[in-house]
Amino acid sequence: MVMFITRFVVKGEAAQFERLFEEHARYMSSQPGYLGSQLVRSLGDPHTYLNIGRWRSPDDHRRVVASDQFQQHASQMRALVDVEAGFYEPVAGEG
């Protein structure tokens, strides 16, 4: 299992981002290799969010994000946020 962690900094309306993210999360939940995710918001900066996605492998994630359907979903959010992201592996704790 790998984690794909994405940091979103919302430039516009946070509620609009959250609605779009929910739609995107429903799409992602049906993708092969997707194991789940959690979106969390910073208490110190309410325009900053982290999405912690769990995937069977990096290749599963890469295959999904290369698809036209993913790009259509993601393009709606890109106008609202600045994004940083990368793969991580669990090293301690539960999960």
The dihedrals phi and psi of 57, each to the nearest 5 degrees, come to -155, 160
According to the model, what pLDDT value does residue 74 have?
Answer: 86
According to the model, what pLDDT value does residue 95 have?
Answer: 56
Domain topology for 2-88:
Alpha-Beta Plaits (3.30.70)
> Which DSSP helix (H) or strand (E) runs through 13?
none
Length of the chain: 95
According to the model, what pLDDT value does residue 93 have?
Answer: 87
Each residue's pLDDT tens digit, 16-43? 999 999 999 999 999 999 999 999 999 9
The dihedrals phi and psi of 48, each to the nearest 5 degrees, come to -110, 130
Each residue's pLDDT tens digit, 41-86? 999 999 999 999 999 999 999 999 999 989 988 888 888 999 999 9
Q: Cβ neighbours of residue 5 under 8 Å, at least 6 residues apart?
A: 50, 51, 52, 53, 85, 86, 88
According to the model, what pLDDT value does residue 8 have?
Answer: 97
Q: Are residues 39 and 50 in contact, defined by beta-carbon separation less than 8 angstroms?
A: yes
